[in-house]
Amino acid sequence: MSDDEADPELLALLRQHLQGKLTLADEEPETGVLESAEYVYNNAIDVALDMRSCKNAAAGIYAQMCAKEYSPATWSAHELHPQTKDDSTVAFIFTMDLLNFSFWSEKPDAERFAVSYRDRRWTGYWSLVAALQRALDEGIPITDSHFWQDEEECTLDVLKHVFRSCTDEEMPLLKERLACLREAGTVLYEKYKCNPVNLLSAADGSAARLVNILARDFGCFRDEHRFDGRRKPIRILKRAQIFVADIWACFEGESHGEFRDIDKITMFADYRVPQMLNGMGCLAFSPPLDVAIRAKKDLPCGGSWEMQLRGCSIWCVELIRREIVRNHPEAKVNAILIDFFLYDTIKDIEAAGEESIPHHRTRSIWY
């Protein structure tokens, strides 16, 4: 080939690039969650962000996180979270986040679902963690995917025993939780040699890739919904992302928790953080939505109101994160730590009986 002739391989690559078909081998994955959240924010009509309040919130949150020395190590400081740092811990966290959804109750605190463990009464998310720890203490292999697949051993009745309440109210969505365990057990058997650690190996150090693997292979992690006629689904992926975040926090960014792109993980869109953001003035609701939330009306899963609450919360926390980093470039803060901090704070406010608005009501497996 002379110097005047075009290189056919380069022409082919250029043609692929212009046609949008060229994917670089070393291209880093994206989850699409932040892109989805921005779309929801730009098209929301019932949820809005107050930018001045977001700036004020950023300053307050950063100051309080510094005062409390908030870091990934805070995760392991809770007495119920695993204290070991090995493969069994990964299995525990995977099980925990498979089932980390829908603990709210309309009953008074004394009558709601609760787990008695270590001489204390645990509700909400902590009831799940306490029940898992109690089951292991009793010799029930609740974190073993072989157990989940055994339809004679892992039955609905056994799950009712594992998650037995010290009140008359049963844990919500027990059948759905059993279905999540069954599906996950099957996928782990077929693709990952029955070991959640192999999910981490498949992700090859990428938090975003791990989220995408969970959403691709496990239907119960595929938290995607339609909104505003958009052809692409809106990706929220709350539990897939929180699994990555919990692994990162538990291992403090080392060993199994080492991810080069951990800052691609967004906040985890549930019903508590939107409540907190509204109380701080960052999120504003339209009068109809505000009335519905205060009346504790059911908001349909995947409905417009629910999607606006979840999408705008993700975008709001992202703007708060950007504001903190803009003012404090040295800050070691990401959306994960902000979410953990906001969740802990609203739970303290709830315990003190000082909530300014109830959380919204949506019963689903997604959060």
**Active site (catalytic) residues:** 270
String of DSSP letters for 155-206: -HHHHHHHT--SSSPPPTTHHHHHHHHHHHHHHHHHHSTT-THHHHHHHTT-
CB atoms within 10 A of CB 211: 29
Can you say whether the dihedral through the CA atoms of 267, 268, 269, 274 is positive or negative? Answer: negative
Torsion, Cα 24 30 32 34, to 10 degrees, reads -130
- On whether the CB atoms of residues 236 and 223 are closer than 8 A, the answer is yes
Residue with tokens 């709830």: 350
Give the Cα separation of 241 and 32 in Å (integer).
12
Query: Of 211, 203, 201, 226, nearest to 335 (Cα)?
Result: 211
- Helix 87-98 to helix 174-191 angle (10° resolution) is 140
- On whether the CB atoms of residues 340 and 75 are closer than 8 A, the answer is yes
Task: Locate 152 and state its tokens.
Answer: 């004679």
DSSP tag of 56: H
DSSP tag of 256: G
- On whether the CB atoms of residues 162 and 178 are closer than 8 A, the answer is no
Give the Cα separation of 155 and 140 in Å (integer).
12
Can you say whether the dihedral through the CA atoms of 256, 262, 264, 268 is positive or negative? Answer: positive
Q: What type of residue sits at position 300?
A: P
